[in-house]
Amino acid sequence: MSGDRTSTTGRAGEGEARKTAEGLGYLSGFGNEHSSEAVPGALPHGRNSPQRAPLGLYAEQLSGSAFTEPRAHNRRSWLYRIRPSAAHPRFTRVDNGGVRTAPFTESAPDPNRLRWNPLPEPAPGTDFLAGLWTLGGNGDAAQRTGMGIHLYHANASMTGRVFSDADGELLIVPERGGLLLRTEFGLLHAEPGEVALIPRGVRFRVELLDASARGYVCENYGAPFQLPDLGPIGANGLANARDFRAPVAAYEDVEGPVEVVNKFCGNLWHATYDHSPLDVVAWHGNHVPYVYDLHRFNVIGSISYDHPDPSIFTVLTSPSDTPGLAGVDFVVFAPRWLVGEDTFRPPYFHRNVMSEYMGLIEGAYDAKAAGEGGFVPGGGSLHNMMSAHGPDRETFEKASAAELRPQKIDDGLAFMFETRWPVTATEQAAQASHLQRGYDDVWQGLERHFRN
Ligand SMILES: O=C(O)Cc1cc(O)ccc1O
Ligand SMILES: [Fe+2]
């Protein structure tokens, strides 16, 4: 793909960005050593940092792991750009808007089950960054542990500004409205049902492909997401590595003021550059943005009896220092067949040492009644460490009486951010008007059936 020389930022709803998003080229594979050049000859061969980089470009390394981390976890990319990133003026603080960062100390961690409706309509002219709203999280961004859970609701493209997050990588889960992500590495297109990942520190701009856009973001402060081990599942299955797509190089050669907003240790800082930092003409490496279509997930489940634990639905995992204990797992509940014999098929009643934030991308979820005031697309639930939850009354009654024929669950797409540390809600989330204050009621009226 040739260099995208000019910035076509476009207004929300304009066809321009969608046209650009269609037919984008991609590089396939997870964690690969990719390479890409927007102009032939821009990528040096045989070395990373020649005395003079090709075409008068500057060579720059972007490290996503310590230099010394084991090869299997080492992440870095080499960027060949019009100006080095170092050529920038001083950053100064700007208002954090709705963005909050760990440690989350504004409110006490709450053992109650919490559920929210979707974010309210934003004011006209709200872009992705202005529309980011933090629900809560855990850990400590400066210690590089834990995560932030955000939602976004935007009705304008980012124009004249780009964003980067030093605190963590961003897993963007669109629920409504397509996104065109212009990154230092090239362009990514993410529709609802797909997810996009922007690595720590990578500059990007979000353009809307529809009049508005809504979704979820997991800001992972910890180790970069990786594919889970498959163990006895074997060499294939769950999210297959080849279905992850990285962009091909595309650059902007824009001289003129561009606002760069940098999230650093919980605060937003900005500087006005005299050029666009999306000026990378070629790159190679494995610290790269990517998109993944959740419909490609190979769902594995029980073909005999019982409801398996949802760890088999793990798309990506961010390991912590303890093997098997994730800082955060990204889990998807994708269309699948249920065939279990003599089995209560929806999610079971449970209390979990892990904490679970769930969102809904489309349709309904099989443990919860759908519809207004329930678990709806764009809404979310938080079931913190050891809080008792599971099917609501209506689901329990139906599933206990259902005839156990093979059943296709294909009316929804839900996901979970599951984490080893309790999630503390922000003050704005704890007080939000869109918090469902009667959520506990869904488990009221579960009748006593005991006979002795
Ligand atoms: O609470 C939830 O709905 C998530 C979940 C799903 C499942 O199938 C089993 C356990 C679990 O926590
Ligand atoms: Fe659960």
Instruction: Tell me if 150 CB under 6 Å of ligand 1.
Output: no
367 within ligand 1 shell (Cβ under 6 A) = yes
pLDDT for 19: 84
- Do the annotations mark residue 348 as ligand-binding? no
Q: How many CA atoms lie within 13 A of 442 on its CB side?
A: 24
User: Is 365 a known ligand-binding residue?
Assistant: yes
- Is 307 annotated as catalytic? yes
Mutate to test the pocket of ligand 1, among 115, 332, 333 (most ligand atoms within 8 A of CB): 333
Q: Per CATH, which fold does 296-442 belong to? A: Jelly Rolls (2.60.120)
Testing ligand 1's pocket by substitution, the residue of 338, 348, 396 carrying the most ligand atoms inside 8 A of its CB is 348
Instruction: State residue 438's pLDDT score.
Output: 93
- Give the C-alpha separation, 185 to 194, whole Å: 19
Query: What is the secondary structure of 250-283 as a DSSP string?
Result: -----EEEEEEEEEETTEEEEEEEEE-S--EEEE
CA distance 195 to 382: 21
Q: What is the pLDDT at residue 4? A: 41
The two structure tokens encoding residue 96:
């954090």
Q: Is the CB of 356 under 6 A from ligand 1?
A: yes
Which is the closest atom of ligand 1 to the Cα of 313? 8
**SS3 category, 126:** coil
Q: How far is the CA of 172 from the centre of ligand 1 (A)?
A: 21
Distance 411 CA to ligand 1 centre (A): 17
**Unique residue bearing structure tokens 């304008």:** 156
Which pLDDT score is estimated for 368?
80
**Tokens standing for 289?**
């943005």
Do the beta carbons of residue 82 and residue 57 sit within 8 Å? yes
Would you say the CB of residue 389 lies under 6 angstroms from ligand 1?
A: yes
Tokens of 129: 């960054």
Write the CATH number of the domain with boundaries 15-112+121-294: 2.60.120.10
Segment holding 397, helix H or strand E: helix 393-401
Q: Is 350 in the pocket of ligand 1 (CB under 6 A)?
A: yes
Residue 390 Cα to ligand 1 midpoint, Å, equals: 7
216 known ligand binder: no
- The per-residue pLDDT for 113 is 97
Cβ pair 128, 196 in contact under 8 A: no
CB of 310 sitting under 6 A from ligand 1: yes
Cα(60)–Cα(254) distance, integer angstroms:
19
Q: Which protein residue's CA is at the shortest distance from atom 7 of ligand 1?
A: 347
What residue's CA is closest to ligand 1, atom 8?
Answer: 347
Q: Which atom of ligand 1 is nearest to the CA of 389?
A: 1
Please tell me whether 389 is known to bind a ligand. Answer: yes
Domain 15-112+121-294 shares a fold with domain 296-442 = yes
What residues of the chain score a pLDDT lower than 70?
A: 1-14, 370
Question: Of the ligands numbered here, which is closest to the C-alpha atom of 338?
Answer: 1
Q: How far is the CA of 104 from the centre of ligand 1 (A)?
A: 25
User: Ligand 1 pocket test: which of 113, 299, 307, 309 has the largest number of ligand atoms within 8 Å of its C-beta?
Assistant: 309
Catalytic residue selected from 307, 383, 434, 449: 307
* Domain ranges across the chain: 15-112+121-294, 296-442
CA 311–ligand 1 middle distance (angstroms) = 9
Q: How far apart are CA 138 and CA 104, in angstroms?
A: 6
The amino acid occupying position 217 is: V
Q: Read out DSSP for 399-415?
A: HHH-----EEE-SEEEE
What is the distance in A from the centroid of ligand 2 to the CA of 304?
Answer: 22
- Is residue 138 classed as helix, strand or coil in its secondary structure? strand
**In sequence order, what DSSP letters do the residues of 5-68 get, joined into one string?**
-S-----TT-HHHHHHHTT--EEE-SS--EEEESSTT-S-SS-SS-SS-GGGPEEEEEESS-TT
Strand order in the sheet with 76-81: 34-37, 280-285, 76-81, 58-63
